[in-house]
Amino acid sequence: MTIKVVEESCEIEGAEISVSIIHLENALIVLVTDRGNRYRIGTMALATPIGRMTGENAPAAFTLLGTGGELLAKVLAGRTSANTGKASLCIVGLRDDEHETISSILKTVEKMLQGTKSE
C-alpha cells in the first residue's frame, strides 16, 4: 500500500500556514505549521469516530499534549474524524491561534478532504 500525502499552504494575516495530511488505511495524520514547510511536534489531539458504534456522527476527541493551539488541534481532530469516518491525529505547531487563523485552517483542511470518506 502506498501512503497518500496531501499538502497545501495558505497565507493568513501575513503568515504562511502549511498543512499536510497523511492518509492511512484507518486514520489520518494532520500536520499544521506556521514555519513554512518545517514541521515540529506541537499540540497533539486525537479523535475517533464513535458514531459507528452509537449511530451518531460525533467523534470522541481529546488533547494528548498541549503547548498552545489546543483548541485548533482538538476541533481539527474532531472535524476530520467526523468528515472521514476515520481516526484523526492532529499535530499543530503554531505560534498564534487566533480565531481567524483557526477558521481559515479549518476551511483549508475541509477543502483538502473533499471526497475522502471511509467506506
* Residue 119 confidence (pLDDT): 43
Measure the CA–CA gap between 56 and 50, rounded to whole angstroms. 8
pLDDT tens by residue, the chain, 119 residues: 678 898 988 887 777 888 999 999 989 999 998 877 778 888 899 999 876 656 666 678 888 877 777 888 898 999 899 888 899 999 988 876 665 677 788 888 888 888 666 54
* Residue 104 confidence (pLDDT): 82
Reported pTM: 0.81
The CA-based diameter of the chain, rounded to the nearest angstrom, is: 43
For the chain, domains (ranges, CATH) are 4-112 (3.30.230.90)
User: Helix (H, G, I), strand (E, B), or coil: what is residue 78?
Assistant: helix
